[in-house]
Amino acid sequence: MSNITIIIPSYNDASGLRQSLPPLINKAKENAWEIIVVNDCSTDDTVAALQEFDSAVTVITNEVNMGYGASIKRGILAAKTEWVASMDADGQHRIADLEAMAARLKDDDVDALIGKRDKSSHVPFVRMPGKWVLAHAANFITGRKIPDINCGLRILRRRFMLSLLSLTSDGFSFSTSTLVCLLQLGCRVQFVPVTVDERIGKSTVKQVRDDFYTLMLILRLITLFKPLRVFLPLSLILFAATFINQMYVFATQGLDITTATVVGGLGGLFIFCMALLADQISGLRRDLLLRDIKMEQLSCK
């Protein structure tokens, strides 16, 4: 368990850091973990809070507010260990859960351990509709039921993450986009039950805006990894609508081929051809990503 760096992105989480860091530092000393806290240009007294733990943690400061995902990316780039873990600075995640996940690295042949919030976890009611939509969109992309799409408590192989940094979000959708990428690349992902407590302090998440950005990113990822899942149904729907319309014309107006039939048929054919082309490009991109991951693996040996 000595090859883990814990990355904690922080934006205006001074009170959370003061409560969560002392026990985490003690546990990190027992297990020889490293801790990196990325201060995302906080405007509260986060700087003063981190100075209290200056000798026990590595602090990275963003000169401008870069976002949750961008802060974790800076931590990943700064880490030197095989594994990187992420947890929130607001006291929601339990150190015991992190330690249990780290213990599984000894026995399980995995590339990523993702927290799966149990029924006793705190989830604000206002966030439930957005989570439901995002969960179903992610399930559609990956073709599998994902137990938890955006739990921030996770442990990942650093070399995989280095190859995925350009594809993942700089904002709060980093967790979702990372998970989708890992699953689509065939990485060995396991979900581990965890309990999430109520956060310390005020949330900086803008629910509607961040859920919209996450959904747009999911659509971007689906066109990258599984373009046929988007374009092929659109093509078939257009073909079906054109066929039904033309049958109606035959039944009511005789054997006339309408402009709508021509446009609809050509449109469906165009989308179908675009789907095939996008699928070929997706395969090439996926192969390049897997090659980069393999090169990272060889360079680590």
Last residue of a domain, one of 185, 208, 224: 224
Cα–Cα nearest to 102, from 84, 88, 128: 84
Q: Please give the pLDDT value at position 120.
A: 77
Phi, psi values for residue 216, rounded to 5°:
-65, -40
Position 242 scores a pLDDT of: 92
Co-location of 15 and 56 in the same domain:
yes
String of DSSP letters for 106-162: TT---SEEEEEE-TTS---GGGHHHHHHHHHHHHHHHTS--S-S--S-EEEEHHHHH
**Per-residue model confidence (pLDDT) at position 9:** 95
Cβ contact 184:112 at 8 Å: no
Rounded CA separation 231/272 (Å): 7
Q: Residue 219: what pLDDT?
A: 76
**Which pLDDT score, from 0 to 100, does residue 283 have?**
81
More confident residue, 248 or 75: 75
For the record, the structure tokens of 63 come out as 């000169």
Q: Are residues 160 and 284 in the same domain?
A: no
Buried b (16+ CB within 10 A) or exposed e, 104-118: ebeeeebbbbbbbbe
Domain match, 30 and 131 both: yes
Number of domain units in the chain:
2
Average of per-residue pLDDT values in the chain = 86
- Residues 183-202 have a mean pLDDT of 86
Q: Is the pLDDT of residue 212 over 90?
A: no
Q: What is the pLDDT of residue 160?
A: 87
pLDDT tens string 232-254: 989 999 999 999 988 988 888 87
Which tokens in the block code for residue 116?
């799966």
238 and 124 in a common domain:
no
Same domain, yes or no: 250 and 215: no
**Residue 274: domain span:** 228-300
**Distances from the Cα of 139 to the Cα of 80, 130, 145, angstroms:** 33, 14, 5
**Are 148 and 240 contained in the same domain?**
no
- Of the residues 224, 254, 279, which one is the last residue of a structural domain? 224
Is the domain of 132 the same as that of 240? no
Amino acid at 222: I
My answer on whether 60 and 163 are in the same domain is yes
Helix H or strand E segment including 190: strand 189-194
Residues 187 and 239 grouped into a single domain? no
C-alpha 158/C-alpha 169 separation (Å) is: 17
**Could you identify the residue written with the tokens 């989708």?**
180
**Does one domain contain both 95 and 187?**
yes
Asked if 140 and 229 count as a contact pair (C-beta separation under 8 A), the reply is: yes
pLDDT at residue 297 above 90?
Answer: no
Instruction: Inform me whether the pLDDT recorded for 33 exceeds 60.
Output: yes
Confidence of residue 26 (pLDDT cuts 50, 70, 90): very high
- Residue 101 and residue 30 in one domain: yes
- Strands in 58-61's sheet, in edge-to-edge order, are 58-61, 34-39, 4-10, 83-86, 154-157, 112-117, 189-194
Residues 220 and 259 in one domain: no
Q: List the CATH number of the domain containing 143.
A: 3.90.550.10
pLDDT digit string, tens, across residues 140-185: 777 788 898 889 999 999 988 988 898 888 888 888 889 988 888 8
Residues contacting 294, CB < 8 A, separation 6+: none
Quick check: 1 pLDDT over 50?
no
What are the pLDDT digits (tens) for 86-139?
999 988 999 999 999 999 987 668 999 999 988 877 666 556 666 777 777 778
Residue 73, token pair as written in the block: 């990316």
Quick check: 265 pLDDT over 50?
yes
Q: Is 129 exposed, middle or buried (0-12, 13-18, 19+ CB in 10 A)?
A: exposed
Which pTM was predicted?
A: 0.81
User: Does residue 210 have a pLDDT over 80?
Assistant: no
Where among 202, 224, 246 does a domain terminate? 224
Q: Return all residues near 154 (Cβ < 8 A) that are at least 6 apart.
A: 85, 86, 101, 112, 113, 114, 115, 175
Give the helix/strand (H/E) hosting 282: helix 259-300
Cβ contacts of residue 14 below 8 Å, gap of 6+? Answer: 42, 44, 45, 46, 48, 49, 201
